[in-house]
């Protein structure tokens, strides 16, 4: 008895297996041999092709469908495999210095003339300025300055004709000093970055450049350091005197450095503060207590109070990133103060006898040169700023710029460059890479669409099968429930629920799950009607009547006999519904009720670009997400339409 039951269960369990085997691979050899014997008198024997094979043959004969399928597969691979290789990607990544950068890969494109004769290189934002030993100035990178209409690469003629001694670059301006002491500036000067005017003098938000420097120049031989920050510039003299000017909004403590008689060993700019080392060399001066008031031996280590940490040593120089500073001490060791973002690469532990002789800083990283000619980078590594190539060693000078570093030998030849080359699709309003967010956003949009389709298909198939097969009161009740759901205005209801969620203290991940559930719950009526109609057509078929006569349970007839025969129609519908759910998610996110920032989706990327300034000036922020969404949904629809045609040739002919 048990043996018979086991055999029966085995046959039942393999029913779907036999169905799919014949659907895709045709009938067995025994059936083919029987047909061949029956057709002995025929001149030729017609090849037996399974329905699945015939569908595939017909589908791949359609070039447009094949092309669309290839595009869909490529998109799936990119959005699902891409995040696995984007090790440094973070949804919450922002960069004030990299806002609204256009597409391009030229941030490390050092001009050939300069590459063999480098004196200095500097950068704070999206463009770099270089100076050759012959006194010629070069500018490269993304040189257009926001929506000001100005271009940092438009070097003034008087600068081209002069022999320049030193240069520095801020976020939107460049300042150069000639060997004759004259100070030049170009780029954006609206916040007093360079030059003098009555408007600057009367504006309380601007610390104007000293008139004496502007009119008479400066003795170059007495300059210790020329440095620029966000919208600010400083000149430190050998005697410790500091000249500083620029935007007070960018650096609220700028007035603390304009006190008469205050002397400094070194100065620098973080993103929000001017920092300096007083002549005593025992602290980081900002003019406010508590800022950079704790020192640590390495990035991320437990800090100590300056006196306890220094133990008689003095600070000789300071280099600043956006959020922390590196201090070079009198015993040639280094230490750090400030905040350390997650993922920061620690400074290396140098072997005995090796120490740093030079340290330079970018927006988030440091590059150091040791007494043995070795080059090390540490700090932020989002754009591989801390991955030093082997050919960088043997340098005599190093330059750490915004998100790049350069090593140069004694003759001025550029040995190596590493860091950020640029952005394939530009950056958004927050300085995040649009290309990376499109990949991560595509994964989010497609996942939400897929999960919503799975939920709606499970509900729709079950209700459609039950309603169509059993009919009667079951059909009436289920169809009334379906009509209730169909009567709900989809988009307004989804917007209302999403708006309600914004008032709840739920995580962004939970909100995404709820969006999937809402889309699935509200999308099932269409597929339920389709399945019900197909079941009504199929339930009077001979094989169904035969199964009923054999006493097969009604539920098994509905789900094991009828459902496999209408699966092709369901697959087509699910394909089309997938594209629809992607569009609905994008619509919700575009209207501000979908996936919340900072998690990306194609919809909320478009939502972040829905103002006239971005549409007009920063086209890449909306064009690329729109293209990705459009191509994906159109190609999915093309695949679905062609699947429907090849699975239902009669309907295709009627068209």
Confidence at 10, pLDDT banded by 50, 70, 90: very low
Residues 6+ positions from 5 with CB-CB distance below 8 Å: none
> Do the domain assignments include residue 28?
no
Residue 501 domain boundaries = 52-87+434-654
Asked if residue 455 lies in contact with residue 520, where contact means CB atoms within 8 angstroms, the answer is yes
Token pair for 92: 């919450």
- pLDDT tier, 17 (very low <50, low <70, confident <90, very high otherwise): low
Which comes out higher in pLDDT, residue 456 or 53? 456
| Of the candidates 608, 431, 603, the residue with the CA atom closest to the CA atom of residue 512 | 603
Residue pair 408/419 in contact (Cβ under 8 Å)? The answer is: no
Full-prediction pTM beyond 0.95? no
The pLDDT, as a whole number, for residue 589 is 84
Within a domain: 609: yes
Q: For 372-427, how does the pLDDT look when each residue is reduced to its tens digit (9 = 90+)?
A: 999 999 999 999 999 999 999 889 999 999 999 999 999 999 999 999 999 999 99
Average pLDDT score over residue span 253-267: 92
Distance CA 25, CA 45 (A): 18
Least confident of 118-127, 190-199, 497-506: 497-506
Looking at the DSSP bridge assignments, the partners of residue 278 are 264
Span 490-521, pLDDT tens digits: 778 877 877 777 777 777 788 888 888 888 88
pLDDT at 565: 80
Number of domains in the chain: 1
Residue 333 placed within a domain: no
Buried b (16+ CB within 10 A) or exposed e, 282-306: ebbbbbeeebbebbbbbbeeebeeb
Residue of higher predicted confidence among 97 and 34: 97
pLDDT of residue 444: 92
Return all residues near 328 (Cβ < 8 A) that are at least 6 apart: 315, 316, 317, 318, 319, 334, 356, 359
Instruction: Look at residue 536 and tell me if it is in a domain.
Output: yes
> Residue 174: beta bridge partners?
169, 186
Q: CATH number for the domain including 625?
A: 1.10.3720.10
Kindly report the length of the chain.
Answer: 655
> Where residue 566 falls among pLDDT bands split at 50, 70, 90?
confident
pLDDT of residue 44: 52
Q: What is the 3-state secondary structure (H, E, C) of 527-578?
A: HHHHHHHHHHHHCCCHHHHHHHHCCCCHHHHHHHHHHHHHHHHHHHHHHHHH
In a domain, 267, yes or no: no
**Distance between first and last Cα of the chain:** 56
Highest mean pLDDT of the ranges 160-169, 464-473, 476-485, 599-608: 160-169
d(CA 129, CA 419) in angstroms, rounded, equals: 16
Is the pLDDT assigned to residue 31 strictly greater than 60? no
- Residue 196 half-sphere exposure toward CB, CA atoms < 13 A: 10
Q: What is the pLDDT of residue 551?
A: 86
Apex CA 454: angle with CA 83 and CA 583, to 5°? 65
Cα separation, 239 vs 417, whole angstroms: 34
User: Poorest-confidence range of 17-26, 76-85, 390-399, 569-578?
Assistant: 17-26
Does residue 555 carry a pLDDT above 90? Answer: no
pLDDT value of position 591: 77
Kindly report whether the peptide bond that precedes residue 598 is cis, defined as omega within 30 degrees of 0: yes
- Gap between the Cα atoms of 226 and 334, Å rounded: 22
pLDDT band for position 20 (50/70/90)? Answer: low
The answer to whether residue 301 is domain-embedded is no
In order of 79, 105, 434, 525, 579, the CA distances from 637 in angstroms are 19, 34, 26, 20, 7
What Å distances lie between residue 486 and 158, 523, 529, 535, CA to CA? 73, 9, 11, 20
Question: How many whole angstroms separate alpha carbon 112 and alpha carbon 43?
Answer: 77
Q: Is the pLDDT of residue 649 over 70?
A: no
Give the pLDDT confidence score for residue 364 in this predicted structure: 95
- 313-366 pLDDT, tens digit per residue, is 999 999 999 999 999 999 999 999 999 988 899 999 999 999 999 999 999 999
Question: Over the chain, what is the mean pLDDT?
Answer: 89
- Evaluate whether 632 touches 439 at the Cβ level (below 8 Å): no
Contacts with 626 (C-beta within 8 Å, 6 or more apart), sequence order: 602, 606
Helix (H, G, I), strand (E, B) or coil at 393: coil
What does the block give as tokens for 453? 């389709």
Is 423 inside a domain boundary? no
Which residues, 6+ apart, have CB-to-CB distance to 506 below 8 Å?
514
CB contact at 8 A, 421 and 107: yes
Q: Considering the domain boundaries, does residue 281 fall inside one? A: no
Given a contact cutoff of 8 angstroms between Cβ atoms, the answer to whether 588 and 645 are in contact is no
pLDDT in tens, 273-305: 999 999 999 999 999 888 899 999 999 899 999
pLDDT surpassing 50 at residue 60: yes
């Amino acid at each position: 008895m048990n043996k018979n039951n086991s055999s029966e269960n085995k046959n039942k369990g393999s029913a779907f297996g036999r169905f799919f085997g014949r659907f895709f691979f045709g009938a067995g050899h025994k059936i083919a041999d029987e047909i061949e014997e029956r057709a002995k008198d025929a001149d030729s024997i017609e090849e037996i092709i399974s329905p699945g094979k015939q569908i595939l043959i017909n589908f791949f004969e359609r070039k447009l469908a094949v092309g669309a399928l290839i595009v869909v597969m490529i998109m799936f691979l990119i959005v699902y495999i891409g995040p696995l290789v984007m090790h440094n990607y973070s949804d919450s990544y922002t960069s004030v210095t990299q806002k609204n950068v256009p597409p391009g890969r030229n941030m490390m494109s050092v001009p050939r003339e300069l590459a063999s004769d480098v004196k200095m290189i500097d950068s704070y934002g999206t463009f770099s300025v270089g100076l050759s030993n012959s006194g010629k100035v070069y500018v490269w990178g993304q040189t257009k300055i926001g929506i000001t209409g100005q271009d940092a690469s438009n070097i003034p003629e008087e600068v081209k004709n002069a022999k320049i001694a030193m240069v520095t670059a801020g976020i939107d301006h460049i300042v150069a000093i000639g060997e004759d002491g004259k100070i030049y500036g170009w780029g954006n000067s609206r916040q007093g970055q360079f030059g003098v005017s009555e408007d600057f003098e009367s504006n309380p938000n601007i610390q104007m450049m000293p008139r004496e420097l502007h009119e008479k120049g400066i003795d170059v031989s007495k300059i210790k350091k020329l440095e620029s920050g966000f919208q600010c510039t400083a000149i430190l003299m050998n005697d410790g005197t500091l000249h500083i000017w620029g935007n007070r909004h960018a650096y609220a403590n700028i007035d603390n450095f304009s006190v008469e008689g205050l002397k400094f060993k070194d100065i620098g700019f973080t993103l929000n503060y001017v920092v300096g080392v007083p002549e005593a060399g025992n602290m980081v001066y900002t003019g406010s207590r508590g800022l950079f008031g704790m020192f640590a031996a390495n990035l991320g280590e437990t800090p100590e109070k300056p006196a306890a940490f220094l133990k008689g040593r003095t600070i000789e120089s300071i280099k600043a990133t956006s959020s922390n500073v590196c201090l070079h001490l009198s015993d040639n060791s280094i230490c750090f103060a400030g905040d350390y973002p997650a993922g920061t690469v620690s400074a290396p532990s140098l072997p005995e006898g090796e120490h740093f002789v030079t340290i330079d800083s970018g927006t988030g990283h440091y590059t150091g040169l040791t007494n043995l000619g070795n080059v090390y980078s540490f700090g932020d590594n989002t754009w591989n700023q801390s991955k030093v190539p082997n050919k960088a060693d043997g340098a005599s000078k190093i330059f750490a710029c915004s998100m790049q570093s350069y090593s140069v030998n004694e003759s001025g030849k550029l040995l190596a460059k590493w860091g950020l080359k640029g952005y394939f699709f530009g950056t958004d309003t927050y300085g995040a890479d649009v290309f990376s967010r499109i990949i991560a956003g595509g994964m989010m949009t497609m996942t939400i669409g897929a999960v919503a389709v799975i939920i709606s298909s499970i509900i729709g198939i079950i209700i459609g099968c039950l309603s169509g097969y059993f009919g009667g009161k079951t059909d009436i009740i289920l169809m009334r429930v379906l009509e209730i759901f169909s009567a709900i205005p989809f988009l307004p209801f989804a917007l209302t629920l999403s708006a309600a969620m914004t008032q709840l203290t739920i995580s962004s991940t939970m909100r995404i799950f709820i969006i999937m559930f809402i889309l699935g719950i509200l999308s099932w009526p269409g597929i339920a009607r389709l399945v019900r109609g197909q079941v009504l057509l199929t339930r009077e078929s001979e094989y169904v009547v035969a199964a009923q006569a054999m006493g097969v349970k009604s539920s098994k007839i509905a789900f094991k006999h009828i459902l496999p025969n209408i699966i092709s129609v369901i697959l087509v519908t699910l394909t089309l519904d997938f594209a629809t759910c992607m569009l609905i998610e994008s619509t919700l996110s575009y209207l501000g009720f979908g996936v919340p920032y900072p998690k990306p989706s194609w919809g909320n990327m478009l939502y972040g670009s829905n103002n006239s300034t971005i549409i007009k000036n920063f086209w890449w922020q909306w064009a690329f997400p729109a293209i990705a969404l459009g191509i994906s949904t159109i190609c999915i629809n093309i695949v679905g339409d062609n699947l429907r045609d090849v699975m239902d040739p009669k309907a295709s002919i009627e068209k």
